[in-house]
Amino acid sequence: MLSAWFAFATNPVLAEVVKIIANPSIKADSITMDELKSVFLEKTNSLSDNSHVEPVLQKGTAAHDAFCKQYLEQRATEIRAYYLALAFTGKGSVPKQFDSDAQVVAYVARTKGAIGYVSSAASTDGVKILAVVSQGHKSERVLLTRVEPQYPQTLRQLQIEGIVRLEVTISAKGTVENVTILGGNPILAESAVNAVKQWTYAPGPSRTTTQVLIPFDPHP
């Protein structure tokens, strides 16, 4: 079992996963992939719950490269060129940039509306972590009740961390009908599934599916 834990912790692909963090003033507990992309490409400055947001970047870090690739679907050099073009044409500006996870966390913690990203191993004192969801349908299902997973004590003591990716099937009434594990440490995944099964969403016209990322950080 321990070998499975350490294989997960050292997997070079999973190591690229980043955590999305926000100032506690932001009311939302989750953000869709479309929202995240729109915010960081400066196509919008608010979330679906009307929270005003200010994107914050890292500069020249592995977390920045991973974020650009995973969520913006472009290379870091292309994103830099995009921001410079926005600034040159007066349609936007280059967001604040920082050299490390710690600097991003410090800025986001003290700045109302700030939203950024850090590596999966970063400490997130003073900020909230937003779950990133991928909508299976165009109509967004608003999360009403969120239950946090229990961090397995053994893994916390060993400082085993990670992010669990789940596919969640939501009934028209808003209850969670099914949760499928798509990736992550199997022990953390079990805890995440138990929590997500207790979530409730706003009612919708039909059954929908969404993907959810659940981070586990031994240094919250």
Mean pLDDT over the full length of the chain: 84
**What CATH number is given to the structural domain containing 65?**
3.40.190.10
How many domains, in total, are found in the chain?
1
Q: Is the pLDDT of residue 15 over 80?
A: no
Q: Is the Cα dihedral 30, 36, 38, 41 positive or negative?
A: positive
Q: How confident is the model at residue 13 (pLDDT cuts 50, 70, 90)?
A: very low
Q: Is the pLDDT of residue 2 over 50?
A: no
Q: How confident is the model at residue 82 (pLDDT cuts 50, 70, 90)?
A: very high
pLDDT in the model for residue 63: 92
Mean pLDDT of 169-173: 88
Q: How confident is the model at residue 79 (pLDDT cuts 50, 70, 90)?
A: very high
Cβ atoms of residues 163 and 184 within 8 Å? yes
Counting residues of the chain whose pLDDT is more than 70, the rounded percentage is 88
54-58/143-145 β-pairing: unpaired
- Ramachandran bin of 2, using left for φ above 0, alpha for ψ from -120 to 50, beta for the remaining angles: alpha
Boundaries of domain holding 31: 2-216
Q: How many helices (H) and strands (E) does the chain have?
A: 7, 11
The pTM for the full model equals: 0.59
pLDDT in the model for residue 217: 82
CB atoms within 10 A of CB 159: 11
Integer Rg of the chain from CA:
17
pLDDT in the model for residue 32: 82
Mean pLDDT of 33-57: 87
